[in-house]
Structure 1
Amino acid sequence: MSEQTGDTATDTNKRPGWLARAGLMILVSSIIAVSAFATWTFLTRNDAPLPGVGTKQVIVPPREMPDFTLTSDSGQPLRLSDLRGTPVLLFFGFTHCPDVCPTTLGEFRQIKAKMGEKGEQARFVFISVDGSRDTPESLAAYLHAFDPAFIGLTGDEELVRTIGKDYYVYFERVTLGTATAAGENYTVDHTTYSYLIDADGRLRVIYPFQAPTQMIADDIKSLL
C-alpha cells in the first residue's frame, strides 16, 4: 500500500510539468495556425494572385506600382521611381529571419550569376518588415554577405505595411518569450513572394518561395 501511495504522489508531482509542456505545444500550434489563417484571409480578401509551388503568376496587363520612399542601407532616402530604367526583383523579409529570407537572398545571388554580364543591369531589393531592428547599418552588413550590390530598404512599420498592401504582403510579429537585455524577443511571420518589376515601374510577375532560379533569370533578361 505504501509503495502505491508513493507512486501516486510521484505521478501527481509530475503531472503539472507535463501539463505545462502540453500547454506550450498547444500555444505554439495555435500561433502557427492563426498566422497561416491570417495570411490566407489577408491575401484572399485582397484578391491576390496566388502562384503555386514551382510556378509563377504573370500579371496581365502589367500593373504600374505606386511610388514610395524608404531609407536605403546607405542611410539615404530611396524611391522606387529612382530605380526606373532597370528591372527590379523585390522581396519583403527581415535580417533575423532564420530560413526563408537567407534562402531567398541566396537564390537572388544565383539568379544574378545565371544572368551573366546582364546581371549587373538588374536591381535586387530587400525591403525589411522589421524596421525596429533592421537599421540601415544592419541591413548593409546582412546584404553584403550575399552581394554588396543588393539594395536594402527599411522604414516605419506602418509605412511598410501600407506599401506591402500593393504587393499582397502580410506580416505580423510573433512573440517568442520574455524580453531580453537586447529588447523584445520576437520573430516576424510574413509572406514569401518575390516580385519582378519592369523598367517602367510595372509589376510583371509574382514568384512563390523557391521558384526555379533559371526561370526568374530568363524572365529578367527578357525585360532588358
Structure 2
Amino acid sequence: MNADPDQTPALCLLQRDGAVATVTLNRPAARNALNLPLLLQLVEALEDATDQGAGVLVLRASGPAFCAGADIRADDGTSIGQPGLRRRLIEQACDLIEAFPASVAAVQGPAVGGGWALAAAAVVTLAAPEATFRFPELRLGFLPPAATVRRMREAVGPALAFRLLAAGERFTADDLARLGLVDVTAAPDLDRRARDLVDQFAAAPADLMHKLRAALSG
C-alpha cells in the first residue's frame, strides 16, 4: 500500500525498487501493535507486492519497537483468543511473508507475540543488539499461530520450541543468535544490511530460490 495523502493514517507502507519490496509497519506511537486497520493494510501491502511480481521482501518497522503484538486494548469487536478476523489476518500475513522466494525481517526493538511471528516468517531475521523477543500467548489463554509453531519446531526442535513459545520468557537478540534464529546486526546498519541481503537474493532466479527452499524444507 503506497503512501496516499488522502489515506490517513498510512499504518503500513509499501515501497518497490525493482524486484525488492519493502514493507514497513508504521504505527510507532502504539509500538506497531497489530490492530485491525494495521493488519488489513499489512495484508494488502503484502498482496500488492506479490501481485506486482516482487521477488524478495524486506519487512521492517518505524520507531523504537518492531511490533508489540496483537493490540489487545483495541475495541475492534474481535478476540485474539478465539478464531476471529484479527487472528486470521496475522496468520495470513505470516503465510504471505513465507511465500516470497526470499525475505528478510529487520528487527530494531521488541518483537512480541504476533510481531515475533511476522519476523519468524521471514527466511532471515536481522536483529539489533537491543531487540528482544517474547511469546506471551499461552499466558493470555491461546496458542501461537500454527504455522509459527511449525516454523519454530523445524528451526530448533520440539524441546527448545516449547520453551520459546510457552514460557512467556523475554529473549535477547544474542539468545536467539546462539540458536541460529537471528543474525545480530548493529542498529545503524540494520536497514543497509537487510537491503544488501535482499539484493543478493534478487540476483538469483526466483524459481530456483523456490526450489531450493522446498528442498531445504523437505
Of structures 1 and 2, the one scoring higher in RCO (CA 8 A, sep 6+) is 1
Q: Quick check: TM above 0.5?
A: no
TM-score interval w.r.t. the shorter chain?
A: under 0.3
Structure of greater Rg: 1
Please state which structure has a larger fraction of its residues in strand.
1
